[in-house]
Structure 1
Amino acid sequence: MTRKYKPLAQEEGDPSGPIVLHGSYQVELLAGGSSQTVLHNPQRSPHNYHRKEFTEQFDLLQRFFGKLSALNRAVNRIRFLKRQLADVQKRLEDGEKLTCH
């Protein structure tokens, strides 16, 4: 994949997300107006986790991923606004009359 910009942080290893507890999960993928739902049964981790510690770690990682997603949305919004400002600046330099709505 070719990116127009350099990521803010480099990803090390598998960026797919936190390890989940053993059990059955329903996973839904939404893309381009279509959705697909599948059942997933992850295998037990070879690590010897206590359920409480595992749950606390998972909850913490979920909060981190939520904050990272919010940060990515904010960065994308800033980039969009910068493009809009550059367009307005170019139009002003070209002498175009702007009107407010």
Structure 2
Amino acid sequence: MKDVRRVAFVVRRTEDVFECARSAAGLAVENLEVGLFILDAPIELPEGDAGFLDLLEMIDDLDGLVFSNLAANAEVYDSIRLLSRADAAARLTGYDLVTAF
């Protein structure tokens, strides 16, 4: 994996969003460029769970990007950018490795 610099994570199930974000943040800490694509999965977290917000902040601070094709996700979380499925597909071609959750 020495030639891998850009890693995308794609998650499509609500119950996998947190773990996927955790994996993305972990690779961002290792100086890899990460993109987290939350597709068709509404983000539903327990009330008062700041852990997910911390992960989003970490990804953002380390120059990673987080996208969702659901407007509700982008409205609730400032660091999530709204992106259509077609635009997500186009962006994914720029990554060295794409991991699906």
Under a length normalisation based on structure 1, what TM-score does the superposition of the two structures give?
0.20
Name the larger-Rg structure: 1
Kindly indicate which of the two structures has a greater share of residues assigned to strand.
2
